[in-house]
Every structure is written in structure tokens, then in C-alpha cells.
Structure 1
Amino acid sequence: MNPVVDVWGPVSPKVRSSFPPAPEPHDEWPLDGGTAWVYYSPLNRRQLIRPVILSDGFSSGSSDLDQLWHGLEENGDFRFISELHATGRDVVILGYNDRTASITSNADTAIDCIRRAVAERVGRAKLVVGGFSMGGLITRYALAKMEQDPSLPDHETSLYLSYDTPHQGAWFPIALQAFTHFATDKWGEAPVVGPVLRQFSGLLNSPAAKEMARWHIEKAGSTPQQAPERMAFLTALDDIGGWPRGVRKIGVANGVDSGTGNGVKAGATAVKCQGNTLNDTWLKTQAEGDQVVARLQKTSEEPVSVRTSGLPAIDGAPGGLFTVPSPDGDTGSFGLAALLMTVLGNTVNPDVITTSCFIPSISALAVGDIDDPKRLYQPITPDNSALDAFQCAGRNEGHTTMTEELGAWIVNEIVAG
């Protein structure tokens, strides 16, 4: 299944054109830094009575309504918007002009949307506010800020929800980060592949990616660590209390709660290529301890070895999988690297490990640090989550995939709340 949001890279024109047009919104709110598209429940006669605000997450450029609608309503086994409408809830889809901007910047847009919803609402029903992937962090921060900042109005929200949100950080494989920066440095000015490489590398070095990623590298030879931008965001989040206090907090994970991994073996060769531009270049999945995770060599130049130390075996951890839409169907983290290697004129080994964990279950459910190698693979219980209630998927599936298992649970929680 395609994810709700293209969480990492640009969507090709062929893929984007495959999304059917979303229905015309009943209302559209221009916001400072974004847009809100309003779909009233048929039960409410074109009035905003019980608003549910759903925030977009991280990707390139601005939010795309057609893609968001497709992920929420048309591309799975559960029609999330229709089911919310059937309960009398009005759906407000919140998008951003720049999905790579800092979380705190887009949180100001979310605050603008919440204020507008309160102003437009008929009656006194409390709001439901949340988001998908990074959208859950944006709205978490927005609600907490509204509670702490006396210059801001009451958010009048009773329920906060997050859908596979990286509360404890996201995992971008270091090998993939290194290859992306390496390839951009070598071929970033090439006429065909150059713009794509620059965009991918720019995404990884964007404010939002740096704030989400538990380990980040600026270039191929950098030491993996939390970026200064992430440290600053965590401090800002802590300064406003970490979480909204006056709401019920629920969340779902696209990974399992049993501690069972996704089958990706630690330290395995994920992708390897040889050809016109790259010589004996390979990326490995992450293992514990000291490890060479990538060998990168432009033909006729000296090889570059990428080393890590002290990281957990996280590629195979239970959680939402790294997925990227492509013209030939979804691929994953290392599958993306394989595509880029092929475009650069090389032959890739046939047994590519295409994907990896992106949002560990313990991150989506805020139950522990993802740098703890044991905690990553331990069963999750309700007593150690910062959320009041949560639901996990029955299998490790694509990040932000909308399923009946998760979508129906959220709808039931909204109705019960």
C-alpha cells in the first residue's frame, strides 16, 4: 500500500498524476504558512460542528491535497474520512507551504488552523487535533504551546491523536544518508539525475529532517549524532511541558507491539553495485558495535568508508517501514539507493534488501529511547507509554499506511471520547 504521505522524497510526475483529484473542499482556509481544506460531514449541513483536524507530515515542497485524500480515503481497506463523516465529524485536512520547514514553524500554522476552527465552529463541541508522521509532532507542539503561552487562546481540544509519529525520533539509515550525500557531491550537477540527488540530499539536511532524525550526518564523512536542530527542538518542546496536558492523548503505530522485528538482518549487504560510475559500492544494514556500513567509490577515485559505532541494530526493528512511491510501485530506503545507483549507470545486485524500519514502534508510542538496543525489540505494554491509549498494527507495515485495524480504532476512540 502507498503511504498517506511521501515521507522522504519527491514524488515523480508519473506517480503524482496517478492520484485522482480530491473532491472539492466545502471550504478552504488560507493560513499563515499553509492551507486547511474543510470537508463537512453530510450530517451537519455545511456547518463546522465537530471538527477533526488532521495534519500532514514531512516531505518535499508543499502539501498536496489529492495525495492526502488518496492516502486517507482511497488507498487502503478503510475509508477514514467517510467513517469520520458517518459519526458526524467534520474533517479539516491541514497542509503546509513547506513540509521541510522546522516543526516549530509549522506548529504556528497549526495554531492558526486551530484558532480558525474554534472561530468557525457552531456549538461548543471540543476539537480533535492530531496528525500523521511529523504532523503528530507539529500538532503536539502546537497544543502544548497554546496551553503554556498566555497570549494564545484556549485550544478547546479534548483529544490529541498521532499516527505513526516519531515521538522518540525517526531512523534514516546512515548508509543511505552517506550514499545520498556522496552521490550528490559527485553528480549533483549532472543534467538528469543531479536535480533529484540535490533534492534528496537537501531533504535530509532540511530543518524538519534534522529535528526528526535520531542520528544525522551532514555529509558522507560526518559522525552520526543528533543534529543541533534536534537538540534545540527537544529543548523547546520540554520548555512547554512536552505534551498537551488538558487533552486525552492517543496514538497508533504501523509496527507491532510484540517486539518481533521486520526480518531485516543486522549487518547484511542491503545493496551493491558495479558499473560505469561506481566501483564495488555497497551499503549494509545497521548492526551494533563498530561497523563499516558503506563503501562508496566513484570509478577512478579512492574509496570512502563510512563507519558507525554504538548504534543499535535498528533497520530490522519492529515499526513502520520506510516507503517511497515510485512509478513501478513502492520501494523503501535501500530500494531507493538501488534506483539511484541504476540511474547513475550501474548494475545492482539482484537480492536487494529494499526497506528498513523508519519509525520504531517504541517511538510511535512514546515508550522508550530508540538508541536502546534491547528496548527496541521488547514487547510494549500500556504502563510505559506517554499516551493514554494506543493501538499497534498486527504486522510491520508501510509508514502511515491507513488500515481498518488502525483507522477504525481511532474512529472508535473519537466517538467514545
Structure 2
Amino acid sequence: MSHEPRIDVETRAQRVEHSLTAEQIERIAEALGEQGVWFATPPTRQGQARTADTIWDLVGDRPHEGHTATGRAAVHLAEGHTELTRPLILADGFGYGPSDLDGLWRWFNAPYQQGTPGFLDQLRTMGIDVVLLGFDQRHTHIQANAAVAVTCVQRVIAERQGDDQLVVGGISMGGIITRYALARMESERVDHQTDKYFSWDSPHLGAWIPLVLQQLAYLHEALQPRSDGPGQAELIRSPAAQQLLWGWVGDADYSGPVMTSSPLRAQFLDDLRRVGGFPARPYKLGLANGVGNGAGPDLPPGTPVFDLDFDPLRLVARIQPDMGELQNVGTLRFDAPKWTSATSWVPAFDGAPGGTLDSWGQIAKAMDLPIQDRFRSSCFVPAVSAIALARDPFQWQSDLYEDLTDLPKDETLLDAFCCDTANAPHGAVTRTLAEWFLEQLAGW
């Protein structure tokens, strides 16, 4: 018998808030940490960013839901090139606010091995022109930013000298944006002239941020409303998060199904199917920051990460339990009022093999909480999602720990994929992934 994964909250956060005095609310808000967007990855500051040869301002080729997205592209010509000749487009991923193209360069070009040039420098040495594609609102609808990607592809084709085909893809959500853009162009019979598509730890089946941490972000806002800027849950409530996350909750009081709680995810998946799912013409490559042998990080389901008394505040937050009914994931108590959260039939995502995100670590830092190092990071993009396992995105949870080492070809929607040798940080440029990708491009 199958059950629909869901979450249930007892004692609504609003009732907790209304039963407290102003002084008590202030004390809780102080204990819960500072304002600021949670789960947003900070820009990469270390290393030197190469000055782009050209910067393009881009406008989406069409609006989505009345909004026309905008972005920019930084063109880095290959060694010896004075014109765009062999273009590779690399799109930025999930985050809040505008892309940092210098930070994207630093991230992808940081040396992954002593004595070896950075990944982007190696591409340029191979005669490949790198076009870094960024978005002014990374958190907006995927379809809107895909329209910016379409504009970028068309600009590259118009500027390119010769007739070499393109390589197009991206990191994280950037791989989903470019997947949709190329598929949309094919469905409209627009020639994207792309020979290879790639995704770098992209959540083809969905991504994961622990449900209890999403709720804590909303709880903080309920007790300390936003004033002069975005609140802790701003990224969680964004269209991009709703479209990408396997499980999503819209506020701290929500009780109900977690896979289908946002209509934006269902609408995006329907749009993706309508344009063909994946582009058919390019050879499709996938890179996963998770291992392929089914072994995830050591995060025992149901283990308390935070179990603290602030006197008189009590906070408990747990690693996602494995299935079961009404499994406690969080408790917040202040004198009499108590908020509790429990999940039913939700699998143990936190410990699944995959690219990791320091979600727990970010919360610990924001709230100034002690945390064991092994609990700082948990699965963000499961390996089965990054390699596009051939499953329905609403029905794939039973395969989280599947061994992918001898996966039959018809079990993935990609033509080739590579898993990492360890569960690395989401989007990390490791030796295993970089060398595999460079080999894939060697004959291009």
C-alpha cells in the first residue's frame, strides 16, 4: 500500500505568536538569530577572476506570467581567439538575487589539483570559448530565465565565426534552465545548433532542503517580521524553489502533502513535458557530485541535530526520518505554547548519496547554535536526480539509494553520466568530474 508523503503541524505557529508577550517574542527572535536570506550560497571570493573579453546584457525572448527576465553573459575567448569560434555556454544555478559572474568564474576555475590549471583555463587552452550566463533574478520562474538562455544561444550563434556547433548547459538549476530552453527551441523548430548539452549536479528529478529547516525559516519570520529587506524564507518561497524542491512547505503552519503542495512545480513539470522533456538533438551529459554506489553520508534518520534549551525556549530539529507515520522532525516550546512538526512516508533524503549543501550548518551559524561537524551538510541533489534516473518526479523516492554503477542505459534520460568518488559539495569542481567532462569534449 502506497502512502502520499505529508507533513503535519500541531499547535499553529500563529497561536504561539499570539500567546506570547512582546518581550517574549523579542527574546525568541534574538535566540533564533539574525535576519537575512537562509540557504543562499555566498559568492566565491577566493581566487582571481579573469576579466571578460565582452559582457552582453540579455533580455528574455518572451515573458512568463507577465514577467520578462533579464541577465548577462561574460564572454571569455579561448587562447589565441579574437572572435567567438567554439562556444560553450555555462549557466548559473539556484540562488537568491543576481548572479555573480566573477564568482562563477572563481568557482569553476579554482584549482582542483595542485599543479593543474583551473577547469575554465583548461577549456580555453583546448580552444573552447567560455560564455558564463547569469540571471538578474536567479530565484524567479525557470521558464522566465530559460527565455534569457534562449536569447543567449541566439546571440552566440549570431556572434560566432564559422559553423562549429555549441555546447550548452549549466550548474545546478542552470542545467534545468538550459534543458528547458533547448527543448523549447526544438519544440518551436528553432535551430539551437547545439551538439552537446550538459548538466552539473542539476536536480532533474528534484532537490531537497530539509522540511524542518524550511519551517524554521518561516517561524523566524513569524516572530521577527521582515522590515527593510528579504527575510529568512525568501529563497524558500521563491518560484525557483517551488519548482525545484521535491518537498516544499509554504509556511510554518502547513499540514498536508509535500510533493504537490506547490502548483508551480506541477505547472513547470507539465511545461517541461509539453516541450519534450529533454532536447532530442544534443548528446546529453550529466555530472553528479554524489557517489554512484548508493552510499550516502552518515546521517542516521531521526537523529537530533539541534536539541537545545535556551531557558525558557526549547528547540529540537531532527535529521529527516525514514518513512513511518507522524515521525517528529521538530519542536519549538516557550513555556506553555508548543509547535511540533511530524512527517509521514517521507524517505530519508538527508543521508542520501548526492551533492551536499550545508543547510544545517547555515542555520547553526545564523542562530549561533552548536553543531557536530558531521551534521553540517546533508543531501541537496540526490545522485539519482543528477543523472536523470528514468522516474516520474512525483514517484521516485524509493530509488534514492540505488546503486548506479551498472545502470542499464534505458534507466537514465541522459546519454552519458559521471558520478563522483565521494559525496562532494553541490556543484563542486572535483578532479573526477572535471577530467571526465574534459574527455567528453576532447573530440568536439
TM-score, structure 2 normalization: 0.82
Tell whether the 8 Å contact from 1:50 to 1:127 is kept in structure 2 after alignment: yes
Tell whether the 8 Å contact from 2:172 to 2:427 is kept in structure 1 after alignment: yes
In structure 2, the CA distance between the partners of 1:277 and 1:21, relative to structure 1 (3 Å rule), is: farther
Q: How big is the shift at 1:403?
A: 1.1
The structure number with the bigger radius of gyration is 2
- Aligned match of 2:211: 174
- Aligned match of 2:224: 187
Which amino acid in structure 2 is aligned with residue 8 of structure 1? F
Distance in 1 of aligned mates of 2:315 and 2:183: 50
Q: Deviations over 1:257-294 (max 9, x none)?
A: 11111111111112223226832433333321121111
Q: Deviations over 1:196-225 (max 9, x none)?
A: xx4330100100000000110001121323
**Counterpart among 39, 44, 53 of residue 8 in structure 1:** 39
**Counterpart among 377, 382, 385 of residue 363 in structure 1:** 385
Distance in 2 of aligned mates of 1:36 and 1:403: 24
- Aligned match of 2:20: none
Tell whether the 8 Å contact from 1:50 to 1:90 is kept in structure 2 after alignment: yes
Distance in 2 of aligned mates of 1:280 and 1:301: 14
Q: How big is the shift at 1:183?
A: 1.2
In structure 2, the CA distance between the partners of 1:156 and 1:101, relative to structure 1 (3 Å rule), is: same
Tell whether the 8 Å contact from 1:7 to 1:57 is kept in structure 2 after alignment: no
Structure 2 residue runs of 5 or longer lacking an equivalent are: 1-36, 60-69
The percentage of aligned residue pairs carrying the same residue is 35
Q: How big is the shift at 1:85?
A: 0.8
1:376 aligns with 2:400: yes
**Counterpart among 181, 199, 204 of residue 162 in structure 1:** 199
- Aligned match of 2:242: 210
Q: Deviations over 1:317-350 (max 9, x none)?
A: 110001xxxxxxxxx11112222322xxxx5465
- Aligned match of 1:326: none
Distance in 2 of aligned mates of 1:314 and 1:284: 9
1:139 aligns with 2:178: yes
- Aligned match of 2:74: 37
In structure 2, the CA distance between the partners of 1:73 and 1:265, relative to structure 1 (3 Å rule), is: same
Q: How big is the shift at 1:172?
A: 1.0
Q: How does 1:56-71 map to 2 (within 5 A)?
A: 56-71=92-107
State the SS of the aligned residue for 1:286: coil
Distance in 1 of aligned mates of 2:250 and 2:419: 33
Q: How does 1:86-101 map to 2 (within 5 A)?
A: 86-101=125-140
Task: Give aligned pairs, total.
Answer: 386
Q: How big is the shift at 1:351?
A: 7.1
Tell whether the 8 Å contact from 1:338 to 1:352 is kept in structure 2 after alignment: no
Q: How does 1:14-413 map to 2 (within 5 A)?
A: 18-20=45-47, 22-32=49-59, 33-44=70-81, 46-74=82-110, 76-77=112-113, 79-150=118-189, 153-189=190-226, 195=229, 198-222=230-254, 223=256, 224-226=258-260, 227-275=262-310, 278-290=313-325, 291-297=327-333, 299-300=334-335, 302-322=337-357, 332-342=358-368, 348=370, 353-369=375-391, 372-380=396-404, 381-383=407-409, 384-413=411-440
Distance in 1 of aligned mates of 2:305 and 2:183: 40
Distance in 1 of aligned mates of 2:397 and 2:56: 45
Q: Deviations over 1:214-262 (max 9, x none)?
A: 1100011213233110000000000000000011000110001111111
Compare 159-168 and 69-78 and name the one that shifted more: 69-78
RMSD across aligned positions (CA): 2.1
In structure 2, the CA distance between the partners of 1:27 and 1:382, relative to structure 1 (3 Å rule), is: farther
Structure 1 residue runs of 5 or longer lacking an equivalent are: 1-5, 323-331
Which amino acid in structure 1 is aligned with residue 163 of structure 2? R
Which amino acid in structure 2 is aligned with residue 90 of structure 1? D
- Aligned match of 2:25: none
In structure 2, the CA distance between the partners of 1:314 and 1:350, relative to structure 1 (3 Å rule), is: closer
Tell whether the 8 Å contact from 1:115 to 1:155 is kept in structure 2 after alignment: yes
In structure 2, the CA distance between the partners of 1:115 and 1:349, relative to structure 1 (3 Å rule), is: closer
